[in-house]
Amino acid sequence: MYRLVGNSEKFGKEHNWTHISCLWQLPYFSKLLLRHNIDVMHNEKNMSEATWNTCFDVSEKTKDNVKARQDLELLCNRPSLHLYSQNGKWKKPRAPYCIDKADKTTILNWFQELKFPDRYAANIRRGVNLLQKKIFGLKSHDYHIFIERVLPVAFQGFLPDDIWTCLAELSYFYR
C-alpha cells in the first residue's frame, strides 16, 4: 500500500516522511480540498475509549502507563505522580483522574439502568460487565453518544471539579 519515494538516503534524517500513501494515486485525489481529512466519528471513538480507559484505569488500555509516568517525571513538576520502585517492580501512585473501585461499580450500575430511545444507543447497556468493571462491544455511534452526552453526567461527582470541567469541555467540543 505504501511505496518509498525520492532520495532514500535523506529519509528519516531530514524529515520523518518515508512513504507516500496509495490514496495519492486515486484519480480524484488532486481535486480534494481537504486531502488529510480526519473522520470525526472515529476520532470521537478513539477519544472516548482513551478517556474511559484512563479514568477507569483499565490495565493494558490506559494511557497512564509506566512510559507516560517516566515522561511526566522528566517534563513536569508533579512529584506526587512519579513512579517508585517496590520489590523490583514499578509502582505508580493513584492519579486524581482515576475513579475509585466503589465508584466504578456505581457508574457501571448507572450505565446498566440508562435508557435511550429505540435505535439511539442501545448497545451501551448490553456492553456493561460488572465483574471485570469494563464496557465491551460498543460501536462508533455508541462512543459518539458517550462522549457528547453521557460523559459529563457519568463522571460528575466522581472526579475532582477541575478534571471534570475539562472532560465536560471536551464533551462540549464534540457537539
Residue-wise pLDDT for 59-115, tens only, equals 788 888 888 888 888 888 888 888 888 888 878 888 888 898 889 889 988 988 888
Residue-wise pLDDT for 8-61, tens only, equals 566 556 666 666 677 777 787 778 777 677 667 778 888 888 888 888 888 788
DSSP class of residue 96 equals T
CA–CA separation, 104 and 57 (whole Å) = 10
Give 164 or 76, the one with higher predicted confidence: 164
CA–CA separation, 11 and 27 (whole Å) = 27
Which stretch of 2-6, 21-25, 115-119 has the lowest confidence by average pLDDT? 2-6
Tell me what pLDDT residue 161 has.
92
Q: Which three cell numbers stand for residue 150?
A: 453521557
Tell me what pLDDT residue 59 has.
78
pLDDT-derived band of residue 2, with 50, 70 and 90 as boundaries? very low
Tell me what pLDDT residue 141 has.
83
Which residues are within 8 A (CB) of 138 and not within 5 positions of it... i.e. 6 or more apart? 123, 124, 127, 146
Q: Please report, as a single letter, which amino acid is at residue 39.
A: D
**CA 104 from centroid of its chain's CA atoms:** 17
Angle ∠(128,132,136) on CA atoms, nearest 5 = 40
For the chain, the 3-state helix, strand and coil shares in percent, each to the nearest 5, are 45, 10, 45
> How many other C-beta atoms lie within 10 A of the C-beta of residue 151?
23
Answer yes or no: is pLDDT of 3 > 60: no
CA–CA separation, 170 and 148 (whole Å) = 8
134-135/89-91 β-pairing: unpaired
| Inter-helix orientation angle 161-173/40-55, to 10° | 170
Tell me what pLDDT residue 158 has.
92
